[in-house]
Amino acid sequence: MKKIVAISLVAACSIFAATINFNEAKDEFTRVNPEQSKGVVLSYNSSIAEAKKSVVNISTTKTTTTGSGFDQMFNDPFFRDFFGFNFKVPQDKQKSTSLGSGVIISSDGYIVTNNHVIEDSDEILVTLLESEKEYKAKIIGTDPKTDLAIIKIEATDLKAIKIADSSKIMEGDIVFAIGNPFGVGGSITQGIISGLNKDNIGLNQYENFIQTDASINPGNSGGALVDSRGALVGINSAILSRSGGNNGIGFAIPSNMTKEIAKKLIEDGKIERGYIGVMISNLTTEQKEIYKNKDGALISSVEKGLPADIAGLKRGDLIIQIDDKQIKNANDLKNTIGSLTPNKEISLTYERSGKIETTKIKLANMQQPNLGMRDGSAISGLSVTPINDEARYRYKIPQDIVGVLVTDVKPNSNADKFGFQKGDIIIQIGEENIVNMNDFNKALLNSKSKKTLVWVNRGGVIQGLVIK
């Protein structure tokens, strides 16, 4: 069944490579406070009645792999030393089901949800909140970096939700979370906007969350967060909780980001992001005393051969503006560059030594950052890349680990025979410590005519591989 989903994804990218017209909510509205009056019951029933028709239940089935009862023994370093690191741990496969929610964004069946709701699914079933009819859904496109995905069902005359401009929402606005918590069916909770532009939560790579105290529980993921008009302001995504229950700290992906990602996934079937090749951080209190600008993204390193390096940017430059957009912090820069398409030329303004400079930069592709990935020619079948922010996020690499990352090992190649694995971090070749690609290439060149010990960090375990 998993093959069917995978095939439908490829087919959908070509068949449904069309545009989408969103059902936009009107920008003209007035905020009012309820007044006390005898014989009057304050109710938002009419406000959410239409929005509720646009929310769906999502049920997924996926095959999971579980280890046997001997996992702990098989993974013991002494056991693996004896039998070899390529020893295969016995594993069992079993089917599991999970529930989530989604929001209809077009009358012909396009639905937005969280990527984690449908990720790795063998089968996706959709039911409307007010109907028992079940639809099989196919994946149109996914974006794990924002935790958004688009699926489609074969149906017509569906109720597409009205989408609000999330840049106009304010803290204190009343909102409603609509979804399928705990699988109990259509449910609505009420709260307010608790905060805006929340980042560094650690949930997604690209974060700009709406925070709300409207109860968001398991099964609500992918559902709608709507304002008191019933217009979509966000896609419910996650909660912060130590117990697993709701503590009044929920997060939703803003509707403006959702629209942008949905449009690209429907039209292109994938997301391509711009990339300049820098590591960045926010200004500390002490650093702000050195710079004239108190906001911006501080460059801590520049990857050689990538757009920022070509444009002449250096460590210590403070990026303060991209085209006409002011950059307030590191997350702001990451989201801004990531929202732009590869090969786009941008104007980047930065502060260096108290002076304001501007340069032009042509963006690389984050998935294929031009000069960033190279093939280890001295080891056939081995592909490596520098450990940048993208690599650290994707492979969960701690900040204190340096080296070069193995991104691919071709079967039956020399790299495969030597024992390299995808995800290995090469930290030393012979006597040479490896910090970057230059170290890697130089060390390989010096070891070309002799047997050499290559040290790799594999999931926190240091191993020595012999190349020849």
Ordered by start, the domain boundaries in the chain are 1-20+45-271, 274-365, 373-467
Q: What is the pLDDT of residue 384?
A: 86
Q: What share of the chain is helix, strand, coil (3-state, %, to 5)?
A: 20, 35, 45
Q: Comparing 274-365 with 373-467, is the CATH topology the same?
A: yes
Q: Tell me how far apart the alpha carbons of residues 225 and 189 are, in angstroms, rounded to a whole number.
A: 10
Closest CA to 113 of 137, 80, 92, 133: 137
Closest CA to 387 of 375, 377, 373: 373
Q: What is the pLDDT of residue 76?
A: 54
Q: Is 410 left (phi over 0), alpha (psi -120 to 50) or beta?
A: beta
Q: Tell me how far apart the alpha carbons of residues 246 and 255 are, in angstroms, rounded to a whole number.
A: 23
CATH 2.30.42.10: does it fit domain 274-365? yes
Tell me, yes or no, if the pTM score tops 0.85: no
Catalytic residues, which ones? 116, 147, 221
Closest CA to 329 of 239, 207, 179, 436: 207
**DSSP-derived secondary structure letter, 372:** G
Task: List, run by run, the mean pLDDT of 10-residue segments along the chain (468 residues).
Answer: 44 58 84 71 86 92 63 52 52 72 94 91 88 89 91 93 93 92 77 86 77 84 92 87 64 93 91 87 90 92 86 93 92 88 92 93 75 50 80 78 88 86 90 84 73 88 86
Q: What is the pLDDT of residue 37?
A: 66
Specify the fold of 1-20+45-271: Thrombin, subunit H (2.40.10)
E-assigned strands of 376-439? 382-386, 404-409, 425-429, 432-433
CATH number for the domain formed by residue range(s) 373-467: 2.30.42.10
